[in-house]
Amino acid sequence: MARLIVVLGDQLTHSISSLSQASKADDVVLMAEPVGEATYVRHHKKKIAFILSAMRHFAQELKDDGWTVHYRATDERLPSFTAAVEAELQAGAFESITICEAGEWRVQEEIDSWEQRFGLPVTVLKDSRFLASKQDFAQWAEGRKALRMEYFYREMRRKTGLLMEGDKPAGGKWNFDSDNRKPAKADLFMPRPIEFTPDAITQNVLSLVDQHYGDHFGSLEPFWFAVRREQALAALDHFIETALPEFGTYQDAMLTGERFLYHSVLSLYLNVGLLEPMEVCRRTEEAYLVGRVPINAAEGFIRQIIGWREYIRGFYWLQGPDYGSSNFFGASRPLPEFYWSGDTNMVCLREAITQTKEEAYAHHIQRLMVTGNFAMLAGIDPHAVHEWYLAVYADAFEWVEMPNTLGMSQFADGGLLASKPYAGSGRYIDRMSDYCQHCVYDPAERTGEKACPFNALYWDFLERNREVLAGNPRLGPIFATWGRMADEKRAAVLSHAAALLNKLDAL
């Protein structure tokens, strides 16, 4: 009897463990487009189109390679993965179910119910696409007072041998961030990610998404993402050639109208499995070894992948399913309406949100220091913030989105992931971007109609949460600066912040 091999929408890798252990001749692969996966948060239209198109291309590749694939599409209106498996078991006889572990607690819990529900053995295999398994990470974390990415990253460098010269880091340092993080200038030769023309499969998916999910957030077109592995590899080569050399230098920069700067726009391909992390890092290392990219770029980029990406994944599984309800500051304001419309006078937020609507993409520093920073300063309910990030970005899967949002950007876990809140005033945004030059607000002012809202909200956030933050050694100097301000000045800042919080939607 055949085994049912279930492949999920973020498992589009030909060497995925579930397929590696299956038999082309005997087993049946099930892929499904349950309505619930597109609506449990109302995902961006472009994100749904990307995942469905990549899934359909992958299914076609499997069929061309001789696999039997049963593909249960959106038209069947199946509510969940469980309903898709049930329909399959009703249509045919199977001896067991095999699946690679899911990327999130919600889906893994669903899978864990199948054995009892269907009365069949269910084999859940490890996801070997990650360098550190859940167990490896838990072992690394055990007994440590604080989990800090930098130490985990060094272990990953040693484990993979990436940018290693014997047991020493290439270039003599583990981390070249001190050479990075410069503001960028408009440049005629600014790279752009490679764009792909939608083929017939993608065109079909675009109509389907418009028909079924037309009222979701975001623009469906233009659609230019890679949807096949071959295209994702071309996107990787294009990035290495055109943008990687400046990646480190301008990693934290923001520029009006420049949506991608020197970023790779590869996270979505990595996260669904069209690219594997090690192949991306090996190609980066090769470019460094032949002298095409400097060490600060190669090291900085590799650190994002074998450091941050792996660390965040390990952290997600270590924390458990309750991590999602973290709310250290007890924040409860609703998300301002302009997070969905982009309709705000604050240029930094307008730029980040407008491009999010149009591209289902914003780069890291926009997510962290613009949309995330503002939400934390304004005391927005972190769960609403998490659902927004999960819905709006094409690369958003809970294992990576949730720790980045709740831990790194909202400090909602009270410092399990970050050693201090990533809070910044208008002055930080002014230093790292040209947004403020086009804004009705002034980043140098704290109070008054023209004052940048980030400024008063920044001090108000610290004052509001003094009890839980004042003991943080990294915030000591900031509280000291606030303490040195004249009483009337502090009162004026707090009263301005209260007025702003009363009219967030109108800013």
Query: Restricting to residues 218-277, which ones interact with ligand FAD according to CB under 6 A?
Result: 263-267, 270-271
Indicate the residue among 30 and 149 with the shorter CB distance to ligand FAD: 149
Query: Restricting to residues 323-362, which ones interact with ligand SF4 according to CB under 6 A?
Result: 346-348
Closest approach of Cβ 226 to ligand DLZ, in Å? 17
Indicate the residue among 89 and 362 with the shorter CB distance to ligand FAD: 362
Closest approach of Cβ 450 to ligand SF4, in Å? 9
Q: Which of 5, 19, 38, 400 binds ligand DLZ (CB under 6 A)?
A: 38
Spatial contact of 403 and 358, defined as CB atoms under 8 Å apart: no
Contact partner, 405, from ligand DLZ, ligand FAD, ligand SF4, none, Cβ < 5-8 Å per class: ligand FAD
Q: Which of 10, 285, 387, 430 binds ligand SF4 (CB under 6 A)?
A: 430
Indicate the residue among 300 and 496 with the shorter CB distance to ligand FAD: 300
For residue 438, give the DSSP letter: G
| Amino acid at position 297, single letter | A
Closest approach of Cβ 37 to ligand DLZ, in Å? 4
Give the tokens for residue 178.
């001190």
| Amino acid at position 92, single letter | G
CA distance 50 to 362: 16
Query: Restricting to residues 367-386, which ones interact with ligand FAD according to CB under 6 A?
Result: 367-368, 372
Q: Which of 436, 456, 469, 500 binds ligand SF4 (CB under 6 A)?
A: 436
Q: Is residue 448 exposed (0-12), middle (13-18) or buried (19+ Cβ within 10 Å)?
A: exposed
Query: Restricting to residues 46-65, which ones interact with ligand DLZ according to CB under 6 A?
Result: 48, 51-52
Spatial contact of 188 and 258, defined as CB atoms under 8 Å apart: no
CA distance 73 to 70: 10
Q: Which residues of 153-182 are buried (b: 16+ CB within 10 A; e: fewer)?
A: bebbbeebebbeeeeebbeeebbbbebbbe
Closest approach of Cβ 436 to ligand SF4, in Å? 3
Tokens 């669903």 found at: 110
Instruction: Give the number of residues in contact with ligand DLZ, rule: CB under 6 A.
Output: 17
For 456, phi and psi rounded to 5 degrees? -65, -40
Query: Restricting to residues 84-113, which ones interact with ligand DLZ according to CB under 6 A?
Result: 102-104, 107
Q: Which residues of 295-333 are buried (b: 16+ CB within 10 A; e: fewer)?
A: bbbbbbbbbbbbbbbbbbbbbbbbbeeebbebebbebee
Indicate the residue among 18 and 271 with the shorter CB distance to ligand FAD: 271
Contact partner, 404, from ligand SF4, ligand FAD, ligand DLZ, none, Cβ < 5-8 Å per class: ligand FAD
How do 2-6 and 168-169 pair as beta strands? unpaired
Spatial contact of 362 and 371, defined as CB atoms under 8 Å apart: yes
Contacts of 179 (CB under 8 A, 6+ apart): 248, 249, 296
User: Is 408 near ligand FAD (CB under 6 A)?
Assistant: yes
User: Is 475 near ligand DLZ (CB under 6 A)?
Assistant: no
Query: Restricting to residues 410-429, which ones interact with ligand SF4 according to CB under 6 A?
Result: 426, 429
Contacts of 152 (CB under 8 A, 6+ apart): 132, 137, 140, 307, 310, 311, 314
Contact partner, 368, from ligand DLZ, ligand SF4, ligand FAD, none, Cβ < 5-8 Å per class: ligand FAD
Contacts of 330 (CB under 8 A, 6+ apart): none
Q: Which of 71, 323, 435, 461 binds ligand SF4 (CB under 6 A)?
A: 435
Spatial contact of 441 and 349, defined as CB atoms under 8 Å apart: no
User: Is 218 near ligand DLZ (CB under 6 A)?
Assistant: no
In the chain, DSSP finds a helix count (H) and a strand count (E) of: 26, 7
- Contact region for ligand FAD (CB under 6 A) — 123-131, 394-402, 438-446, 449-457? 394-402
Contact partner, 103, from ligand SF4, ligand FAD, ligand DLZ, none, Cβ < 5-8 Å per class: ligand DLZ
User: Is 118 near ligand FAD (CB under 6 A)?
Assistant: no
Closest approach of Cβ 324 to ligand DLZ, in Å? 14
Q: Which of 441, 458, 459, 461 binds ligand SF4 (CB under 6 A)?
A: 441
Contact partner, 436, from ligand DLZ, ligand SF4, ligand FAD, none, Cβ < 5-8 Å per class: ligand SF4
| Alpha helix segments (H runs only) across 361-410 | 364-366, 373-377, 382-392, 398-402
Binding site for ligand FAD (CB under 6 A): 263-267, 270-271, 301, 304-305, 308-309, 312, 363-364, 367-368, 372, 389, 393, 395-396, 400-401, 404-405, 408-409
Binding site for ligand DLZ (CB under 6 A): 8-10, 32-34, 37-38, 43, 48, 51-52, 102-104, 107, 397
